Chain A
């Protein structure tokens, strides 16, 4: 009873609890929070109890730069919860931040997006951590569905729409028709694997160690998925493995392209497998309209070109691909109020 009173004063929210970033969409307000899913925890000496030092972008700046008593951790791995308590704390912080200062704790209805094919255990962990963070009611929706709705695809039509959502931890590909998923697959390849591949490439070819934050910066600046005409360069500093001292060197976009080959071929393979599994009628719809790219991975330069060349199907990048999933979750909440709860398979 009290919860529902509190709920009356809380706005419904949709959370894209991603491996790399957490986004919160508040109904009627839009995306109001977009922060890295990082939590910094300080251990108090002597007493041994742990205190949250920072959450979000502030904590991300600490990644790899912390003293002994502080650990900056990413509580999600491969799209699912790896550290339950920390995820709960992080969600609590984000939900409160999203609601601004209020006199009471918010108790919103929450839609959380989960990777397609995540296990019952993983879903339950997400559900419980959202409930622990103060949600009145937790609804789970599969990420490709949310991404398609958020991108504005006409998912209700009796026509096939194909969406590829490349997140931080997972990439999801799905064929959607009549508000339902016809085929979907999730591969545990995402932005994190791109970063890892860059770190490994630099270590192998330059004998130099760089951190994941640096790798991410390289990916954003000069990363590309298809050989382009102009070659970009960037100066990077890392620790030379044999000399043990920091050294600067220059990387170019073709090297990064080479480094990213392995994760990229994994994603292309997943898309091809999805196309093979698609019923022919839907396949022809997809061939006509194209594949829609969402998620942070869609921002990798020329990824659409690579997919187009590999599959022979046009590829379209959604507007504001980073926020598609969160916006889609919010739209689902609205649709559920308009049409009742049976519209989508929401748990």
Chain B
């Protein structure tokens, strides 16, 4: 019968339909016989032999029946399918909506609209971020140069002097303590003498410590010169002593009475920050519930202002007593 696959070398280039008919006739089968074997109607089989592919419509049926017929006749099925692929007249029919095009069947928004939309949105986002970080509303980062010198009335120290002693003992003392940023507390007596540098000194330290952690706080570099205008800035309200204790990591931003940013950075859990800042002070905490704030030894209650995401923004006003 037709089980041994025939290597039909002569028919290699021939069209699949003709090959099928020749093979069937050489086996001496009638169309009806073959159709019965395949449980197909003779008309469909005849259409295959005559290469009227449109009778079977979809390529899957043409391929499938070609394979079945070829197998029955002992022809190599894949060869016939490949031959059909070469002569196939139509492309794979698309699956089209079968129902009439109602309003809900309208074609979806073209994809390029989304692409362009996203690009515009992305651009706006990038510009927004740039504006936020470098826009005109941001004062330049606080530096020693423009730090107001209201202390020159009380303390007649030269600008360099307190800064260097403040730092150098720290450097020599204990690096580990510096990393934890605890020694602020120990610096207190010195700091009291020259309150204006108090805000400066912790920054120096936090910067040093934070550089170790790979975080960039916005603060002055130790090597920056302290310019002459340092002495000339007009005195403002007395600075208040702000103490921040962190039970967990928290982002912190402190702006002083002149709107200058005194401190910005990520404080680690367990850290204790003490700063002398000119009020009114604008405080922003990234993790409000985990921070305790004392102003001149009195704790500030801001729990009502904590937002859902734990951030909190509040002001510390000028003390009325004038201290």
Enumerate chain A interface residues (CB-CB to B < 8 A). Answer: 8, 149, 151-158, 178-179, 229, 287-290, 292, 304, 308, 312-319, 331, 335-343
Taking the closest CB of chain A, its distance from the CB of B31, in whole angstroms, is 15
B92 interface contact, C-beta 8 A: yes
Enumerate chain B interface residues (CB-CB to A < 8 A). Answer: 3, 38-41, 44, 56-61, 63-65, 67-68, 92-93, 95-99, 104-108, 111, 114, 118
User: How many angstroms between the C-alpha atoms of A179 and B98 in the bound complex?
Assistant: 7
* Given A153-B58, A319-B63, A337:B68 Cβ within 8 A: no
Residue A316 contacts which of B64, B98, B99, B107 (CB distance < 8 angstroms)? B64
* Given A179-B98, A319-B60, A342:B104 Cβ within 8 A: yes
User: How many angstroms between the C-alpha atoms of A317 and B59 in the bound complex?
Assistant: 12
Q: B60, A316: Cβ atoms under 8 Å?
A: yes
Q: B108, A338: Cβ atoms under 8 Å?
A: yes
Taking the closest CB of chain A, its distance from the CB of B218, in whole angstroms, is 26
Taking the closest CB of chain A, its distance from the CB of B103, in whole angstroms, is 10
Q: B98, A156: Cβ atoms under 8 Å?
A: yes
* Given A154-B95, A178-B98, A316-B68, A289:B61 Cβ within 8 A: yes
What are 22 contact pairs spanning A and B, CB under 8 A?
Answer: A149-B95, A153-B58, A154-B57, A154-B93, A156-B95, A156-B96, A179-B95, A179-B99, A229-B3, A288-B41, A289-B57, A290-B65, A292-B60, A292-B64, A308-B38, A314-B40, A314-B68, A316-B68, A336-B108, A339-B108, A340-B108, A341-B108
Q: A8, B93: Cβ atoms under 8 Å?
A: no
Q: B104, A8: Cβ atoms under 8 Å?
A: no
User: How many angstroms between the C-alpha atoms of A318 and B60 in the bound complex?
Assistant: 7
Q: Please give, as numbers and ranges, the residues of chain A lying within 8 Å of B106 by CB-CB distance.
A: 340
Q: Please give, as numbers and ranges, the residues of chain B lying within 8 Å of A179 by CB-CB distance.
A: 95, 97-99
- In this complex, what residue of B is CB-closest to A230? B3
Q: A8, B41: Cβ atoms under 8 Å?
A: no
Q: B65, A316: Cβ atoms under 8 Å?
A: yes
User: How many angstroms between the C-alpha atoms of A154 and B106 in the bound complex?
Assistant: 21
Q: A340, B107: Cβ atoms under 8 Å?
A: yes
Q: Please give, as numbers and ranges, the residues of chain B lying within 8 Å of A317 by CB-CB distance.
A: 64, 67
Q: Please give, as numbers and ranges, the residues of chain A lying within 8 Å of B60 by CB-CB distance.
A: 151-153, 292, 316, 318-319
Q: Please give, as numbers and ranges, the residues of chain B lying within 8 Å of A335 by CB-CB distance.
A: 95
Chain B CB within 10 Å — which of A153, A154, A312 has the most?
Answer: A154
Residue B105 contacts which of A151, A288, A314, A339 (CB distance < 8 angstroms)? A339
- In this complex, what residue of A is CB-closest to B121? A5
Q: Please give, as numbers and ranges, the residues of chain A lying within 8 Å of B111 by CB-CB distance.
A: 337
- In this complex, what residue of B is CB-closest to A178? B98
* Given A290-B61, A314-B68, A316-B61, A339:B39 Cβ within 8 A: no
Q: B44, A288: Cβ atoms under 8 Å?
A: yes
Taking the closest CB of chain B, its distance from the CB of A308, in whole angstroms, is 5
User: How many angstroms between the C-alpha atoms of A156 and B3 in the bound complex?
Assistant: 38
Q: B40, A339: Cβ atoms under 8 Å?
A: no
